[in-house]
Amino acid sequence: MQAVLNREVFSTRLFDSGALGVLASVIHQFAEPAIYGVVVRRGDIVVHTLSFEVSAASQNLQLDIDLATSIRDRAGREESCTCAPAGTEKHGVMPREMRPTVSPKGYVLFYVSRGEGGLSVQVGTNRSNQPVFDSTTLGKGDLFALSLLAPTKYSMENRLGRARGMIEVSMPEAAFQSLADLEPIAVEATRDAFAPPDVKASSGQGIVFRVVDAARIVIEQTQDPPDDEPRRRRRIVVPKRPAPSGPHR
Amino acid sequence: MAHLTIAANEKTFGKIFEAARDTFAFDESDSGSFGPFTASYDIEAHLEGGSVDLRGDGTVLVDELDIKWDKIDLTLGLNIPQICVGGFCIIPTPFGCALRAPKLCVFSANPDISVKLPLGGITSELSVAGRLVTRYFVDPARPVGMNDWDAQDTSPPLFNRWQIFLDPEFVDIDPIDVADTVGDLLENAVDDAVDNILGFLPGWARKLIKGILGPIIDLIRDILDIPDDIQEWISDLLNVSFGLLDIIVQFVLEYFADKTPITYIEDPFPILEAVANPNGPPPPMLVPVKVPIRDFKVFNTDTEMVIEANVA
Amino acid sequence: MAFTDNCDIFASFHEDGVNRVINHVRRQRPSLFNYATAAIARDPRRLCEPIQAHPIVGIRNNPLATIVDLLPIPGTDFGLDFCVQLSDLRIDFHPGDEFALPPELNPLPAQRLAIRLRVCIGLACPPNDIVDQLISPPNTRPKDDRQDRETPKPLRPVPFRELRCFCLDAFATGGVRIRTYSGKPYLEPFLSGFEIVDIKPDGLEAALECYVKLILSLVVLPGLRTLLEATELDIIKNKVKVVVTPMPTSATLPNNPAIENDQLKAFAKIEVI
């Protein structure tokens, strides 16, 4: 099968909790049982809506919502799609049997599996006009988790305050182990500081920001990684052509 | 007593046989699916060497013919496993992971790679023994009613012929033994193939992905389910799974018994060549004189091949 | 003892097979055995013996007879039409048990073959009334030598109604040798003795024997020579580029070719190019 490369995995230089792209996710715990509507935006433009239910009856402690899939599958309908089927969409509310659920003790994780990213979510109920959760402004208890792959230096800042820091990512020297098994690095984020402010991580290792008050965390690659394995030139062999049979004019 | 008797000694018979041997060309390709991988081969071979022994029991043994494998291109199609990042535990607890980051995979599906192993340049041996037999051949392209002189003059000629074949009784053949460097060859080929699909990525990304994949040789063993010796595995793939030995034996049998006569003579045979018309043109030449040959038979002793025939 | 004890390739032809071959040659190349002037060649019904030709001769417009010049009548510019035909040609290899030779040629020497044939000759003799018309008046003008030398006049055929034919039985002895032409060895028959039966006076017999022997030696027998490599029936040539050469004679191979035991045998060696 022809496999399409997820280019953004290697080309993303900016990781913004308020404009999600690949390799990053925001996590919020919805403690009130209700049906929640999600508005997905890119900048100011609404690209899609969807819904989920927080129910005391649900055993599900983690609900992953892929913002890229929900957009892509507005026309197609994948099983994991949280989109409203055609004709039933009403304020982002799906039929009950199709709606994903999560326990009030569980977490909802918003992420982007592919594509250009820049997505934010506002989550609300029909009880209030105010959103219950807005990913452009993370609050207390919210998490921002990401993996940085390129072995180089990154700046980190809280756009809602003065907190600044640096992250240095390096290629592991020893044999690679399963990236999933690497202990993630925890960073506390307040408006004015990161703890710790300097983070050293291995390529692919998880970094989890725990928001204490309010945050919009932006991590940006500050330099290009060293390219000690230059791009390989591909040799394409030209097939032999038969010799001409007559005099060449 | 036969009207005509021709005998050729063993040395001469050997020269005649060499000509039949030298036109042997084996060219075969096939493919198959073997579960976790697909494989195809493209093979060309020719024959060299061999010693011809005419035996007292009327058989001919051609011993130690070299099969020169000019090309054994074995192409393996593998799916390399998905390469994913993420999946780490966001909220660890003493009871396990309460929240885990999603896995993000580098490719949309398991990428295919195709590695071609050029295994040619090796030699194996075969021996074939059989009896000389004759067959009368009428060219199927010859129009009904065409006279023998027109048949001789066409290009290519369409004359009938008495043919002598070697009808094999057995073929002994060595299995194809690939070189012991095939393990390195395979490893390098997979390495190259992986590099090719990642070729446009920056070096650090390739290094990261290859680190995730792990040592190539382990990857190969895993995907292909190779228990032990790669050389032996590939030899078995060719000889047994593809049945290449059976295929080439069948080809050799058909080649000598059916497709390629050791030699032949034209019938009717032109005993006198065309000469100039003594009365001047037209026509410029007189027809060659052709005599019909019948009761054509061949046998051999331990020193010579003997042909006997009668003039009709 | 193997056929190839002293050579790479051996070929032998039994006299029965050779005689069948000669029959095929007579039918497919009749012009080798029939000679006639143009007027007779154009109308083969006039020949002494009918020609049984293979259909390919007519299909390919091959001649039935080799055209020869008129027989000149000395002192005139007339010539006679005539024909010579060789028929019933049979060969007998040593030890010569197919037909009896006349005493002049008997016994057949070793390594020799005997030939029996029938020679038919036809002469277009004109009837008297035509001859009278052909008598030329007296020629009283002196000959202009130079003019006569520079412009020889072609012979004029004498009109005739039919040929006067007669046939003679003849016997010959000869052999086969290997001669090389243009770098290629040929098996070539040759004559040693020739005898026409029952012609008197002896001088006439001798003269006729001379004439027919010349036709056989210079025309017919060379026309029967075959490429040595052809006698190996092409089994080599079809497959391998080789040079076929006759084996040199030696103590173990005293004759090449050999004529013995009713067979003609040839011994050759091959060199692969």
Which residues of chain C does B282 touch, with a Cβ-Cβ cutoff of 8 Å? 61
> Does residue A92 have a pLDDT over 50?
no
Q: Is residue C4 part of a domain?
A: no
- Sorted by sequence, the CB contacts under 8 Å of residue A222 that are 6+ apart come out as A152, A153, A154, A155
Which residue in chain C is spatially nearest to B1 when comparing CA positions?
A: C14
Query: What is the residue-averaged pLDDT of chain A?
Result: 81
How does DSSP classify residue B214?
-
Q: Is C245 touching B (CB cutoff 8 A)?
A: no
How does DSSP classify residue B21?
H
From first to last of the 273 residues of chain C, give the pLDDT tens digit: 899 999 999 999 999 999 999 999 999 999 999 999 999 999 989 999 999 999 999 999 999 999 999 988 877 788 889 999 998 889 999 998 888 888 888 899 999 999 999 989 999 888 777 777 777 777 777 766 555 555 667 888 888 878 899 998 899 999 998 888 888 888 888 888 888 887 778 888 888 888 888 888 887 788 877 766 565 555 565 666 677 788 999 999 999 999 999 999 999 888 776
Helix/strand/coil (H/E/C) assignment for every residue in B135-188: EEECCCCCCCCCCHHHHHHCCCCCCEEEEEEEEEEEEEECCCCCCCCHHHHHHH
Report the b/e string of B181-207 with b at 16+ CB within 10 A: ebbebbbebbbbbbbebbeebbbbbbb
CB C245 within 8 A of CB C185: yes
pLDDT at B203: 84
Cβ–Cβ of C17/B12 closer than 8 Å? no
Q: Where are the domains of chain A?
A: 1-136, 140-226
> Which regions of chain B are under pLDDT 70?
108
CB C246 within 8 A of CB C178: yes
Helix/strand/coil (H/E/C) assignment for every residue in C52-91: CCCHHHHHCCCCCCEEECCEECCCCCEEECEEEEEEEEEE
pLDDT at A248: 40
Q: What is the CATH number of the domain that holds C195?
A: 3.15.20
> Does residue A64 have a pLDDT over 60?
yes
Token look-up 């994913």 returns B84
Which residues of chain C does B147 touch, with a Cβ-Cβ cutoff of 8 Å? 55-56, 59
Higher per-residue confidence, C102 vs A86: C102
How does DSSP classify residue B114?
E
pLDDT at A88: 38
Cβ–Cβ of C31/B265 closer than 8 Å? no
Residue A197 confidence class, pLDDT cut points 50, 70, 90:
very high
**Least CB–CB distance from C4: residue in B278, B289, B304:** B304
**DSSP of chain C, one letter per residue?**
--TTTT-SEEEEEEHHHHHHHHHHHHHH-GGGTEEEEHHHHH-GGGSSS-----HHHHHTT--SSEEE--EE-TTSSEEE-EEEEEEEEEEEETT--SSPPPTTTPSPPTT-EEEEEEEEEEE-PPPHHHHHHHPPPP--SPP-HHHHHHSPPPPEEPP-SS-EEEEEEEEEEEEEEEEEETTEEEEEEEEEEEEESS-SSHHHHHHHHHHHHHHIIIIIHHHT-EEHHHHTTTTTTTTS-EEEEEPPP-SS---SSEEETTEEEEEEEEEE-
Q: How many CB atoms lie within 10 A of CB A217?
A: 26
Give dist(CA B278, CA A19) in Å, integer: 106
Is ipTM over 0.90? no
- Average pLDDT value for residue range A6-19: 89
Which residue in chain B is spatially nearest to C228 when comparing CA positions?
A: B271
Which domain covers residue B165, as residue numbers? 4-311
Q: Is residue C146 part of a domain?
A: no
Reading the block at residue A225, the tokens are 């990684």
pLDDT at C21: 92
Cβ–Cβ of A3/B89 closer than 8 Å? no
Q: Is C226 touching B (CB cutoff 8 A)?
A: yes
pLDDT at A233: 54
Cβ–Cβ of A175/B107 closer than 8 Å? no
Which residue in chain C is spatially nearest to B274 when comparing CA positions?
A: C29
For chain B positions 211-270, those within 8 Å of chain A (CB to CB) are: 211-212, 214
Which residue in chain B is spatially nearest to A105 when comparing CA positions?
A: B98
CB A227 within 8 A of CB A25: no
Q: Is residue C173 part of a domain?
A: yes
Q: Is C9 touching B (CB cutoff 8 A)?
A: yes
Token look-up 């210079």 returns C218
pLDDT at A38: 94
User: pLDDT digits over B123-182, tens only?
Assistant: 888 898 999 999 999 999 999 999 999 998 999 999 999 999 988 888 888 888 787 778
Give dist(CA A156, CA A9) in Å, integer: 19
Which residues of chain C does B274 touch, with a Cβ-Cβ cutoff of 8 Å? none
Q: Is B51 touching C (CB cutoff 8 A)?
A: no
How many domains does the structure of chain C reveal?
A: 1
Q: Is C31 touching B (CB cutoff 8 A)?
A: yes
Which domain covers residue C50, as residue numbers? 9-133+154-272
> Does residue A90 have a pLDDT over 70?
no
Residue A77 confidence class, pLDDT cut points 50, 70, 90:
very low
- Average pLDDT value for residue range A142-160: 95
pLDDT at B309: 94
How many domains does the structure of chain B reveal?
A: 1
